[in-house]
Amino acid sequence: MTFKGLSLILFLTFPVLTAHAQETDFGRLKEGLDANSLPLVNIVTESALENDSYVSGQIEIWDFQKRTDPARRDVQFRCEVKYRGASAMAYDKKSLAVKLVDSRGDDLDANVLGIREENSWILDAMAIDRIRMRNRLCFDIWNSMSHTPYDTGFDNRNGTDGVFVELFLNGEYEGLYCLSDKVDRKLLGLKKADKGTSGRVYIKGLLYKCTKWSGSSSYLTGYDTAPVNTTEWNAWELQYPSDYPSDVTWQPLMDLIDFCSQETTFAQFCDEYLNWFYVDNLVDYLVFTSALNVDDNFYKNTFLSTVDITKGHRYLITPWDMDMSLGGNYDGDYNDVTAILNRYDWRAPYDRLHLNNVDGFRKAVKDRWAELSPTLLSPDSVFARLDAYASEFEKSGAWQREYDRWNGNPVPLKESLSQEIDYVKRWYADNYNSICREWGGASYTSAPGYYDPNPERAIYLPDGRRVNSSRDAAPGKGLYIIDGKKIYNR
């Protein structure tokens, strides 16, 4: 059966919306759907949402561009939904996990909003992000520069794809969200576990996710003794195959950490590291996280995957949850500092590759920056992405509705999104120039008037280079520009 036919059957199985439903926020807004509108998503649940188990419901998606079903602007599916996230549960605006199901409750794949065939989806609340686009924009850039070094069936994508939507719960307006797929076995092309005739399971593809800063295991330099019959081990979660937590599924990660630890001699590391990592992936991750100052993602908020452990154990890095980026902090405040380019020199395998410049690794990093800094990572390119999303938010009216609904909860928003975007542009130009001074490249002269959240505390050198912000310690000896005045610090 084609998806078009399936979607029609699913649509007809749902109750017809009553006149009362048309009086909800969702009903009113979908009546004005036009080419400027973001997709509208309404989730109707049969009981209150929970964070530890799914509840049944239905999801209705209205999209002027007809990306889910080319024959219609509105589609409906049965679904199961719950709150998702750990620290995000503390916020009133919560992210959701949604699974599409058929009438029997079995998984149902659908190409929602043209992203990919999948049954499991994320609705990211972006609650602490003052511009509501950092994570999505970072993934867009990452997907353009980093790809799986093997075919996956999804254009070798090594990160999520997503579309901004406006979410409604039981018809009532919930806010601006990003609907995205997940980093999972299917996306990364990992081989499925095989179950033999005797019932024994043969593990192949593996996917691990680091969830916290916790001891040496989150730096791949060591680990503590811990049970292996659970999906959580030290700072890591077993994402796939989560049904089979055991020494078989955890031992490969232990082997990787053992190799990266000081138990491995430097000579042995140099001889064997290419069997454990994809160097291009390591180079891209260092350049990417430095350019956007993605500052809470190594290895916390990072996936490690290997395609088939029976045929090799090279691991791929995939980022996750990049709200702490582009001049933003983990709590939604400003992180107005430039990236530290040797930030990973105490985390494996960079503690040897970069710190000791194994096989000219530092040159590979600088060469990649030289390739990307005038193109994908240029300020003009990043600014264009910021402006494009900001335009979507503003033309659709979504930003005003988001501001009215969530300003000050949990972070202050600006009614004029352009002012917040200008801060990010100024920060990115400063960070870009800082990297150019270390890795090479022509500096960028930012346009005047970019918003600075702490202008009275910004400190510059006489040539205009910014050297710190309100969070930094006092500068050393020398001539500085502070509050527009020349000050000699003795």
Q: Is 201 inside any structural domain?
A: yes
Specify whether 232 is located in the same domain as 295.
Answer: yes
Query: Residue 137 in contact with residue 377, Cβ under 8 Å?
Result: no
Helix axes 379-396, 398-406, angle to 10 degrees: 80
Position 472 scores a pLDDT of 41
Q: Is 137 inside any structural domain?
A: no
Q: Is 408 inside any structural domain?
A: no
DSSP letter string, 286-336? HHHHHHTT--S-SSTTEEEEES-TTT---BEEEE----S-TTB-TTSSB--
What does the alpha-carbon distance between residue 380 and residue 377 come to, in Å, rounded to a whole number? 8
Q: Is 258 inside any structural domain?
A: yes
Position 461 scores a pLDDT of 66
What does the alpha-carbon distance between residue 71 and residue 248 come to, in Å, rounded to a whole number? 47
Specify whether 220 is located in the same domain as 169.
Answer: no
Residues 6+ away with beta carbon under 8 Å from 6: none
For tokens 């000791």, name the residue.
356
Radius of gyration of the chain (CA): 24
> Residue 481: which of 465, 467, 462, 456 has the closest Cα?
462
**Greatest Cα pair distance in the chain:** 79
CA distances (Å), origin 322, targets 132, 293, 295, 315, 319: 11, 10, 8, 21, 8
Amino acid identity of residue 180, one-letter, is S
Reading the chain (490 residues) residue by residue, the pLDDT tens digits are 444 444 444 443 444 343 344 579 999 999 999 999 999 999 999 899 988 899 999 999 999 999 999 999 999 999 999 999 876 678 999 999 999 999 999 999 999 999 999 999 999 999 999 999 999 999 999 999 999 999 999 999 999 999 999 999 999 999 999 999 999 999 999 999 998 777 788 999 999 999 988 778 899 999 999 999 999 999 999 999 999 999 999 999 999 999 999 999 999 999 999 999 999 999 999 999 999 999 999 899 999 999 999 999 999 999 999 999 999 999 999 999 999 999 899 999 999 999 999 999 999 999 999 999 999 999 999 999 999 999 999 999 999 999 999 999 999 999 999 999 999 999 999 999 999 999 999 999 865 455 555 555 566 666 555 665 443 444 566 666 565 556 656 5
pTM for this model (two decimals)? 0.88
Range of the domain at 453: 379-403+418-427+434-489
Specify whether 209 is located in the same domain as 298.
Answer: yes
Specify whether 195 is located in the same domain as 181.
Answer: no
Specify whether 303 is located in the same domain as 269.
Answer: yes
Specify whether 364 is located in the same domain as 441.
Answer: no
Specify whether 177 is located in the same domain as 251.
Answer: no
Whether omega before 245 lies within 30 degrees of 0, making that bond cis, reads no
Which parts of 148-235 are beta strand (E)? 162-169, 172-180, 194-195, 201-202, 206-210, 232-233
> Residue 421: which of 377, 381, 389 has the closest Cα?
389
CA distances (Å), origin 414, targets 131, 246, 402, 409, 423: 9, 49, 10, 12, 12
Specify whether 77 is located in the same domain as 218.
Answer: no
Q: Is 423 inside any structural domain?
A: yes
Q: Which two tokens stand for residue 120?
A: 């499991």
- Give the end-to-end CA distance of the chain in Å, rounded to a whole number: 78
For tokens 């045929």, name the residue.
311
Which SS3 state, helix, strand or coil, does residue 42 take? strand
DSSP letter string, 68-105? SBTTBSEEEEEEEEEEE-SGGGGSSS-EEEEEEE-TTS
Residues 6+ away with beta carbon under 8 Å from 226: 233, 234
For tokens 């000896």, name the residue.
477
Specify whether 16 is located in the same domain as 70.
Answer: yes
Q: Is 410 inside any structural domain?
A: no
Q: Is 376 exposed, middle or buried (0-12, 13-18, 19+ CB in 10 A)?
A: middle
Amino acid identity of residue 467, one-letter, is V
Q: Is 210 inside any structural domain?
A: yes
For tokens 């194994």, name the residue.
358
Specify whether 202 is located in the same domain as 311.
Answer: yes
What does the alpha-carbon distance between residue 275 and residue 263 come to, in Å, rounded to a whole number? 17
Specify whether 448 is located in the same domain as 355.
Answer: no
What does the alpha-carbon distance between residue 272 and residue 313 come to, in Å, rounded to a whole number? 11
Specify whether 254 is located in the same domain as 297.
Answer: yes
